[in-house]
Structure 1
Protein backbone atom coordinates (compact mmCIF):
# COMPACT_ATOMS: atom_id res chain seq x y z
CA UNK A 1 0.00 0.00 0.00
CA UNK A 2 1.33 3.42 -0.98
CA UNK A 3 2.00 5.96 1.74
CA UNK A 4 -0.44 8.91 1.74
CA UNK A 5 0.59 11.97 -0.25
CA UNK A 6 1.50 14.97 1.92
CA UNK A 7 -0.59 18.03 1.10
CA UNK A 8 -0.21 21.49 2.59
CA UNK A 9 -3.47 23.37 2.04
CA UNK A 10 -3.56 27.13 2.51
CA UNK A 11 -7.20 28.18 2.72
CA UNK A 12 -7.37 31.94 2.17
CA UNK A 13 -10.68 33.30 3.42
CA UNK A 14 -12.65 35.82 5.46
CA UNK A 15 -15.03 35.22 8.36
CA UNK A 16 -17.76 37.31 6.69
CA UNK A 17 -17.55 35.53 3.32
CA UNK A 18 -20.43 33.05 2.77
CA UNK A 19 -18.66 31.26 -0.06
CA UNK A 20 -15.73 30.72 2.29
CA UNK A 21 -18.04 28.87 4.69
CA UNK A 22 -19.27 26.77 1.76
CA UNK A 23 -15.75 26.20 0.46
CA UNK A 24 -14.35 25.07 3.80
CA UNK A 25 -17.21 22.63 4.39
CA UNK A 26 -16.82 21.24 0.86
CA UNK A 27 -13.04 20.95 1.24
CA UNK A 28 -13.37 19.00 4.47
CA UNK A 29 -15.93 16.67 2.90
CA UNK A 30 -13.58 16.08 -0.04
CA UNK A 31 -10.73 15.23 2.33
CA UNK A 32 -12.98 12.77 4.17
CA UNK A 33 -13.75 11.07 0.85
CA UNK A 34 -10.04 10.77 0.09
CA UNK A 35 -9.52 8.91 3.35
CA UNK A 36 -5.99 7.61 3.86
CA UNK A 37 -4.76 8.47 0.37
CA UNK A 38 -3.63 11.94 1.51
CA UNK A 39 -2.14 13.42 4.64
CA UNK A 40 -3.45 16.97 4.56
CA UNK A 41 -2.84 19.91 6.85
CA UNK A 42 -5.09 22.94 6.46
CA UNK A 43 -3.59 26.35 7.25
CA UNK A 44 -6.07 29.23 7.49
CA UNK A 45 -4.84 32.41 5.86
CA UNK A 46 -6.39 35.85 6.40
CA UNK A 47 -8.21 37.96 3.84
CA UNK A 48 -10.40 40.96 4.62
CA UNK A 49 -13.21 41.65 2.19
CA UNK A 50 -14.04 44.93 3.91
CA UNK A 51 -11.04 46.18 5.91
CA UNK A 52 -12.48 49.71 5.98
CA UNK A 53 -15.45 48.72 8.14
CA UNK A 54 -15.66 49.94 11.71
CA UNK A 55 -16.31 47.44 14.49
CA UNK A 56 -19.91 48.68 14.57
CA UNK A 57 -20.32 47.37 11.04
CA UNK A 58 -23.00 48.16 8.47
CA UNK A 59 -26.35 46.84 7.35
CA UNK A 60 -25.38 43.86 5.20
CA UNK A 61 -28.06 44.32 2.53
CA UNK A 62 -27.26 47.99 2.02
CA UNK A 63 -23.55 47.19 2.00
CA UNK A 64 -23.93 44.56 -0.75
CA UNK A 65 -26.20 46.79 -2.84
CA UNK A 66 -23.70 49.63 -2.71
CA UNK A 67 -20.57 47.49 -3.17
CA UNK A 68 -21.79 45.47 -6.14
CA UNK A 69 -24.32 47.85 -7.67
CA UNK A 70 -27.24 45.46 -7.29
CA UNK A 71 -30.77 45.87 -5.97
CA UNK A 72 -32.54 44.22 -3.05
CA UNK A 73 -34.10 41.52 -5.23
CA UNK A 74 -30.67 40.51 -6.54
CA UNK A 75 -29.29 40.38 -2.99
CA UNK A 76 -32.20 38.11 -2.00
CA UNK A 77 -31.64 35.88 -5.04
CA UNK A 78 -27.93 35.55 -4.28
CA UNK A 79 -28.72 34.66 -0.68
CA UNK A 80 -31.17 32.00 -1.83
CA UNK A 81 -28.43 30.34 -3.92
CA UNK A 82 -26.01 30.49 -0.99
CA UNK A 83 -28.63 29.12 1.40
CA UNK A 84 -29.27 26.13 -0.88
CA UNK A 85 -25.58 25.37 -1.41
CA UNK A 86 -24.88 25.68 2.31
CA UNK A 87 -27.80 23.45 3.29
CA UNK A 88 -26.51 20.71 1.00
CA UNK A 89 -23.30 20.76 3.05
CA UNK A 90 -25.08 20.74 6.40
CA UNK A 91 -24.50 24.43 7.10
CA UNK A 92 -27.37 26.75 8.03
CA UNK A 93 -27.16 30.15 6.31
CA UNK A 94 -29.61 32.57 7.94
CA UNK A 95 -28.49 35.95 6.62
CA UNK A 96 -31.35 38.21 5.54
CA UNK A 97 -32.96 41.59 5.98
CA UNK A 98 -31.58 43.19 9.13
CA UNK A 99 -28.29 41.26 9.10
CA UNK A 100 -25.09 43.23 9.61
CA UNK A 101 -21.55 42.91 8.32
CA UNK A 102 -18.59 43.56 10.62
CA UNK A 103 -14.87 44.25 10.62
CA UNK A 104 -13.06 40.90 10.88
CA UNK A 105 -9.46 41.88 11.64
CA UNK A 106 -9.62 40.91 15.31
CA UNK A 107 -11.18 37.59 14.35
CA UNK A 108 -8.17 36.96 12.09
CA UNK A 109 -5.79 37.81 14.92
CA UNK A 110 -7.58 35.33 17.14
CA UNK A 111 -7.43 32.67 14.40
CA UNK A 112 -3.67 33.23 14.11
CA UNK A 113 -3.33 32.61 17.85
CA UNK A 114 -5.58 29.54 17.62
CA UNK A 115 -3.45 28.02 14.86
CA UNK A 116 -0.42 28.15 17.17
CA UNK A 117 -2.40 25.74 19.36
CA UNK A 118 -3.84 23.69 16.49
CA UNK A 119 -7.40 24.80 17.30
CA UNK A 120 -7.81 27.08 14.28
CA UNK A 121 -10.29 24.92 12.37
CA UNK A 122 -12.52 24.53 15.41
CA UNK A 123 -12.46 28.29 15.98
CA UNK A 124 -13.02 29.09 12.29
CA UNK A 125 -16.10 26.89 12.16
CA UNK A 126 -17.38 28.41 15.40
CA UNK A 127 -16.93 31.89 13.92
CA UNK A 128 -18.70 31.01 10.67
CA UNK A 129 -21.60 29.43 12.53
CA UNK A 130 -21.85 32.37 14.93
CA UNK A 131 -21.97 34.88 12.08
CA UNK A 132 -23.94 33.19 9.31
CA UNK A 133 -26.22 30.95 11.36
CA UNK A 134 -26.70 32.84 14.61
CA UNK A 135 -26.22 36.44 13.41
CA UNK A 136 -23.66 37.31 16.09
CA UNK A 137 -21.27 40.26 16.10
CA UNK A 138 -17.88 38.76 15.20
CA UNK A 139 -16.13 42.08 15.89
CA UNK A 140 -17.13 41.94 19.55
CA UNK A 141 -14.30 40.90 21.87
CA UNK A 142 -16.84 39.37 24.22
CA UNK A 143 -18.31 37.22 21.45
CA UNK A 144 -14.88 36.27 20.10
CA UNK A 145 -13.55 35.24 23.51
CA UNK A 146 -16.65 33.15 24.16
CA UNK A 147 -16.32 31.40 20.80
CA UNK A 148 -12.66 30.69 21.55
CA UNK A 149 -13.76 28.93 24.73
CA UNK A 150 -16.35 26.93 22.79
CA UNK A 151 -13.58 25.89 20.38
CA UNK A 152 -11.48 24.46 23.21
CA UNK A 153 -9.26 27.46 23.83
CA UNK A 154 -8.71 29.44 27.02
CA UNK A 155 -11.29 32.24 26.83
CA UNK A 156 -9.41 34.37 29.37
CA UNK A 157 -6.23 34.18 27.30
CA UNK A 158 -8.29 34.83 24.17
CA UNK A 159 -9.56 38.06 25.72
CA UNK A 160 -5.98 39.06 26.56
CA UNK A 161 -4.94 38.43 22.95
CA UNK A 162 -7.80 40.56 21.66
CA UNK A 163 -7.23 43.46 24.03
CA UNK A 164 -3.44 43.50 23.62
CA UNK A 165 -3.45 43.82 19.83
CA UNK A 166 -0.87 41.04 19.40
CA UNK A 167 -0.47 39.23 16.06
CA UNK A 168 -1.57 42.30 14.10
CA UNK A 169 1.75 42.45 12.24
CA UNK A 170 1.66 38.72 11.49
CA UNK A 171 -1.86 38.95 10.07
CA UNK A 172 -1.00 41.99 7.95
CA UNK A 173 2.08 40.21 6.62
CA UNK A 174 0.09 37.13 5.61
CA UNK A 175 -2.58 39.26 3.97
CA UNK A 176 0.08 41.07 1.97
CA UNK A 177 1.85 37.83 1.03
CA UNK A 178 -1.22 36.29 -0.60
CA UNK A 179 -2.31 39.54 -2.22
CA UNK A 180 1.15 39.81 -3.78
CA UNK A 181 0.65 36.30 -5.14
CA UNK A 182 -2.44 37.49 -6.98
CA UNK A 183 -5.22 36.50 -4.59
CA UNK A 184 -7.95 39.09 -5.09
CA UNK A 185 -11.06 37.08 -4.18
CA UNK A 186 -11.85 34.34 -1.70
CA UNK A 187 -12.04 31.57 -0.91
CA UNK A 188 -8.78 30.58 -2.54
CA UNK A 189 -7.41 27.11 -1.82
CA UNK A 190 -3.69 26.73 -2.53
CA UNK A 191 -2.24 23.23 -2.40
CA UNK A 192 1.48 22.71 -1.81
CA UNK A 193 2.13 26.34 -2.63
CA UNK A 194 1.52 25.93 -6.36
CA UNK A 195 -1.95 24.60 -7.18
CA UNK A 196 -4.87 27.05 -6.92
CA UNK A 197 -8.47 25.91 -6.54
CA UNK A 198 -10.55 29.12 -6.74
CA UNK A 199 -13.95 29.71 -5.18
CA UNK A 200 -16.39 27.74 -3.07
CA UNK A 201 -16.36 24.61 -5.21
CA UNK A 202 -18.58 21.56 -4.62
CA UNK A 203 -16.97 18.62 -2.74
CA UNK A 204 -16.57 16.57 -5.93
CA UNK A 205 -14.54 19.33 -7.58
CA UNK A 206 -12.24 19.58 -4.58
CA UNK A 207 -11.96 15.79 -4.46
CA UNK A 208 -10.99 15.45 -8.13
CA UNK A 209 -8.45 18.28 -7.93
CA UNK A 210 -6.88 16.90 -4.75
CA UNK A 211 -6.69 13.39 -6.23
CA UNK A 212 -4.83 14.72 -9.24
CA UNK A 213 -2.45 16.76 -7.11
CA UNK A 214 -1.88 13.85 -4.71
CA UNK A 215 -1.08 11.51 -7.61
CA UNK A 216 1.76 13.81 -8.61
CA UNK A 217 2.96 14.45 -5.04
CA UNK A 218 5.58 12.35 -3.23
CA UNK A 219 4.49 10.76 0.03
Structure 2
Protein backbone atom coordinates (compact mmCIF):
# COMPACT_ATOMS: atom_id res chain seq x y z
CA UNK A 1 0.00 0.00 0.00
CA UNK A 2 1.22 3.49 -0.83
CA UNK A 3 0.61 5.97 1.98
CA UNK A 4 -0.53 9.38 0.74
CA UNK A 5 -0.91 12.53 2.79
CA UNK A 6 -3.84 14.70 1.66
CA UNK A 7 -4.46 18.19 3.05
CA UNK A 8 -7.77 19.82 2.18
CA UNK A 9 -8.12 23.58 2.61
CA UNK A 10 -11.81 24.42 2.67
CA UNK A 11 -14.72 26.33 4.16
CA UNK A 12 -17.98 24.81 5.40
CA UNK A 13 -20.14 27.30 3.48
CA UNK A 14 -18.39 26.46 0.19
CA UNK A 15 -20.55 24.02 -1.83
CA UNK A 16 -17.68 23.15 -4.14
CA UNK A 17 -15.67 22.01 -1.11
CA UNK A 18 -18.07 19.21 -0.23
CA UNK A 19 -18.49 18.28 -3.92
CA UNK A 20 -14.70 18.24 -4.26
CA UNK A 21 -14.36 16.04 -1.20
CA UNK A 22 -17.02 13.57 -2.34
CA UNK A 23 -15.24 13.28 -5.70
CA UNK A 24 -11.97 12.69 -3.85
CA UNK A 25 -13.72 10.07 -1.73
CA UNK A 26 -14.83 8.27 -4.90
CA UNK A 27 -11.29 8.46 -6.28
CA UNK A 28 -9.86 6.97 -3.10
CA UNK A 29 -12.42 4.15 -3.23
CA UNK A 30 -11.18 3.36 -6.74
CA UNK A 31 -7.63 3.29 -5.37
CA UNK A 32 -8.54 1.44 -2.16
CA UNK A 33 -6.42 -1.61 -3.00
CA UNK A 34 -3.23 0.41 -3.51
CA UNK A 35 -3.52 3.71 -1.62
CA UNK A 36 -3.86 4.45 2.08
CA UNK A 37 -4.79 8.13 2.45
CA UNK A 38 -4.28 10.24 5.57
CA UNK A 39 -6.61 13.25 5.26
CA UNK A 40 -6.45 16.47 7.27
CA UNK A 41 -8.76 19.46 6.83
CA UNK A 42 -7.55 23.05 7.17
CA UNK A 43 -9.47 26.32 7.65
CA UNK A 44 -10.19 28.90 5.00
CA UNK A 45 -12.86 31.54 5.68
CA UNK A 46 -14.57 32.84 2.56
CA UNK A 47 -16.13 35.64 4.60
CA UNK A 48 -14.09 36.31 7.75
CA UNK A 49 -15.76 39.70 8.25
CA UNK A 50 -19.30 38.29 8.05
CA UNK A 51 -21.45 39.55 10.93
CA UNK A 52 -23.18 37.29 13.45
CA UNK A 53 -26.52 37.62 11.67
CA UNK A 54 -25.15 36.27 8.39
CA UNK A 55 -26.60 37.41 5.05
CA UNK A 56 -29.16 36.21 2.55
CA UNK A 57 -27.23 34.01 0.13
CA UNK A 58 -28.58 35.56 -3.07
CA UNK A 59 -27.88 39.08 -1.75
CA UNK A 60 -24.40 38.01 -0.74
CA UNK A 61 -23.57 36.52 -4.14
CA UNK A 62 -24.90 39.64 -5.85
CA UNK A 63 -22.83 41.98 -3.66
CA UNK A 64 -19.62 39.93 -3.76
CA UNK A 65 -19.63 38.58 -7.32
CA UNK A 66 -22.34 40.53 -9.14
CA UNK A 67 -24.38 37.33 -9.54
CA UNK A 68 -27.88 37.98 -10.87
CA UNK A 69 -30.93 36.28 -9.33
CA UNK A 70 -31.31 34.19 -12.48
CA UNK A 71 -27.68 33.08 -12.36
CA UNK A 72 -28.02 32.32 -8.64
CA UNK A 73 -31.04 30.06 -9.24
CA UNK A 74 -29.21 28.32 -12.09
CA UNK A 75 -26.13 27.77 -9.92
CA UNK A 76 -28.25 26.26 -7.15
CA UNK A 77 -29.84 23.85 -9.62
CA UNK A 78 -26.42 22.86 -10.94
CA UNK A 79 -25.03 22.31 -7.44
CA UNK A 80 -28.08 20.29 -6.42
CA UNK A 81 -27.64 18.03 -9.44
CA UNK A 82 -23.90 17.63 -8.85
CA UNK A 83 -24.64 16.87 -5.22
CA UNK A 84 -27.00 14.09 -6.23
CA UNK A 85 -24.30 12.65 -8.49
CA UNK A 86 -21.83 12.36 -5.59
CA UNK A 87 -24.36 11.39 -2.92
CA UNK A 88 -24.73 14.69 -1.08
CA UNK A 89 -28.03 16.49 -0.53
CA UNK A 90 -28.18 20.26 -1.06
CA UNK A 91 -31.39 22.00 -0.01
CA UNK A 92 -31.25 25.61 -1.20
CA UNK A 93 -34.12 28.05 -0.68
CA UNK A 94 -34.81 31.72 -1.37
CA UNK A 95 -34.17 32.47 2.30
CA UNK A 96 -30.90 30.47 2.47
CA UNK A 97 -28.24 32.41 4.36
CA UNK A 98 -24.46 32.40 4.51
CA UNK A 99 -22.72 32.63 7.87
CA UNK A 100 -19.45 33.35 9.60
CA UNK A 101 -17.46 30.13 10.03
CA UNK A 102 -14.67 31.11 12.46
CA UNK A 103 -16.08 29.18 15.44
CA UNK A 104 -16.81 26.15 13.28
CA UNK A 105 -13.15 26.10 12.24
CA UNK A 106 -12.07 26.41 15.87
CA UNK A 107 -14.06 23.30 16.67
CA UNK A 108 -12.65 21.46 13.64
CA UNK A 109 -9.09 22.32 14.57
CA UNK A 110 -9.58 20.89 18.06
CA UNK A 111 -11.49 17.87 16.73
CA UNK A 112 -8.39 16.80 14.81
CA UNK A 113 -6.58 16.11 18.09
CA UNK A 114 -9.57 13.98 19.15
CA UNK A 115 -9.57 11.97 15.88
CA UNK A 116 -13.04 13.35 15.15
CA UNK A 117 -12.23 16.02 12.56
CA UNK A 118 -13.48 14.06 9.56
CA UNK A 119 -16.78 13.17 11.24
CA UNK A 120 -17.32 16.74 12.40
CA UNK A 121 -16.49 18.21 8.99
CA UNK A 122 -19.14 16.05 7.33
CA UNK A 123 -21.64 16.78 10.10
CA UNK A 124 -21.15 20.52 9.59
CA UNK A 125 -21.56 20.28 5.81
CA UNK A 126 -24.82 18.40 6.31
CA UNK A 127 -26.03 20.78 9.03
CA UNK A 128 -25.50 23.78 6.76
CA UNK A 129 -26.29 22.57 3.24
CA UNK A 130 -28.76 19.76 3.89
CA UNK A 131 -30.60 21.06 6.93
CA UNK A 132 -30.14 24.83 6.51
CA UNK A 133 -28.80 25.38 10.03
CA UNK A 134 -26.89 28.44 11.22
CA UNK A 135 -23.45 26.95 11.78
CA UNK A 136 -22.19 30.16 13.37
CA UNK A 137 -24.38 29.56 16.44
CA UNK A 138 -22.88 27.84 19.46
CA UNK A 139 -25.89 25.60 20.07
CA UNK A 140 -25.75 24.25 16.49
CA UNK A 141 -22.00 23.67 16.71
CA UNK A 142 -22.40 21.86 20.03
CA UNK A 143 -25.19 19.77 18.51
CA UNK A 144 -22.82 18.69 15.72
CA UNK A 145 -20.04 18.06 18.25
CA UNK A 146 -22.31 15.85 20.35
CA UNK A 147 -23.46 13.99 17.24
CA UNK A 148 -19.90 12.86 16.49
CA UNK A 149 -19.07 12.02 20.11
CA UNK A 150 -17.01 15.01 21.20
CA UNK A 151 -16.90 16.17 24.82
CA UNK A 152 -19.39 19.04 25.08
CA UNK A 153 -17.70 20.79 28.00
CA UNK A 154 -14.39 20.91 26.16
CA UNK A 155 -16.13 21.89 22.92
CA UNK A 156 -17.81 24.80 24.68
CA UNK A 157 -14.46 25.95 26.04
CA UNK A 158 -12.85 25.74 22.58
CA UNK A 159 -15.64 27.84 21.06
CA UNK A 160 -15.16 30.62 23.60
CA UNK A 161 -11.38 30.60 23.89
CA UNK A 162 -9.78 33.43 21.88
CA UNK A 163 -6.54 31.48 21.50
CA UNK A 164 -8.38 28.95 19.30
CA UNK A 165 -9.74 31.80 17.18
CA UNK A 166 -6.19 33.15 16.86
CA UNK A 167 -4.91 29.71 15.85
CA UNK A 168 -7.49 29.54 13.05
CA UNK A 169 -6.58 33.03 11.82
CA UNK A 170 -2.86 32.21 11.95
CA UNK A 171 -3.33 28.97 10.01
CA UNK A 172 -5.43 30.72 7.37
CA UNK A 173 -2.72 33.35 6.99
CA UNK A 174 -0.12 30.65 6.42
CA UNK A 175 -2.20 29.15 3.61
CA UNK A 176 -2.68 32.58 2.04
CA UNK A 177 1.07 33.17 2.15
CA UNK A 178 1.54 29.77 0.53
CA UNK A 179 -0.56 31.00 -2.41
CA UNK A 180 -3.90 29.40 -1.53
CA UNK A 181 -6.56 32.03 -2.26
CA UNK A 182 -9.49 29.88 -3.36
CA UNK A 183 -11.05 26.65 -2.15
CA UNK A 184 -11.23 23.74 -2.28
CA UNK A 185 -7.48 23.26 -2.47
CA UNK A 186 -6.18 19.71 -2.22
CA UNK A 187 -2.47 19.23 -1.50
CA UNK A 188 -1.00 15.78 -2.05
CA UNK A 189 2.10 14.81 -0.05
CA UNK A 190 2.58 18.44 1.02
CA UNK A 191 3.64 19.74 -2.40
CA UNK A 192 1.27 18.79 -5.25
CA UNK A 193 -1.64 21.25 -5.44
CA UNK A 194 -4.97 20.35 -7.06
CA UNK A 195 -7.28 23.36 -7.18
CA UNK A 196 -11.06 23.24 -7.37
CA UNK A 197 -13.58 20.39 -7.34
CA UNK A 198 -11.93 18.20 -9.95
CA UNK A 199 -13.48 15.00 -11.29
CA UNK A 200 -12.80 11.67 -9.61
CA UNK A 201 -11.12 10.45 -12.79
CA UNK A 202 -8.68 13.36 -12.78
CA UNK A 203 -7.94 12.80 -9.08
CA UNK A 204 -7.25 9.09 -9.62
CA UNK A 205 -4.87 9.95 -12.45
CA UNK A 206 -3.13 12.69 -10.43
CA UNK A 207 -2.64 10.51 -7.35
CA UNK A 208 -1.30 7.62 -9.43
CA UNK A 209 1.10 9.96 -11.20
CA UNK A 210 2.36 11.42 -7.92
CA UNK A 211 2.91 7.95 -6.48
CA UNK A 212 4.75 6.81 -9.62
CA UNK A 213 7.05 9.85 -9.48
CA UNK A 214 8.13 8.94 -5.97
CA UNK A 215 8.35 5.20 -6.42
**Normalised by the size of structure 2, how large is the TM-score?**
0.96
1:145 and 2:145 aligned: no
Distance in 2 (CA, whole Å) between partners of 1:61 and 1:42 is 32
1:192 and 2:189 aligned: yes
| Aligned 8 A contact 1:13 1:47 in 2 | yes
Matches within 5 A, 1:53-202: 53-202=50-199
Question: 2:3 corresponds to which residue?
Answer: 6
Distance in 1 (CA, whole Å) between partners of 2:9 and 2:52 is 22
After the TM superposition, which parts of structure 1 deviate over 3 Å for at least 4 consecutive aligned residues?
Answer: none
Question: CA offsets, 1:109-155, max 9 Å, x none?
Answer: 00000001111010000000000010000000010011011112122
Offset of 1:216 from its aligned partner?
Answer: 2.2
Any stretches of 5+ residues in structure 2 without a counterpart?
Answer: none
Paired residue for 1:24, among 16, 21, 25? 21
1:43 and 2:40 aligned: yes
Question: CA offsets, 1:41-64, max 9 Å, x none?
Answer: 111011010111012101111001
**Normalised by the size of structure 1, how large is the TM-score?**
0.94
Distance in 1 (CA, whole Å) between partners of 2:33 and 2:214 is 14
The Cα RMSD (Å) is 1.1
Any stretches of 5+ residues in structure 1 without a counterpart?
Answer: none
Offset of 1:172 from its aligned partner?
Answer: 1.5
Offset of 1:160 from its aligned partner?
Answer: 1.9
Distance in 2 (CA, whole Å) between partners of 1:217 and 1:17 is 32
Offset of 1:170 from its aligned partner?
Answer: 1.9
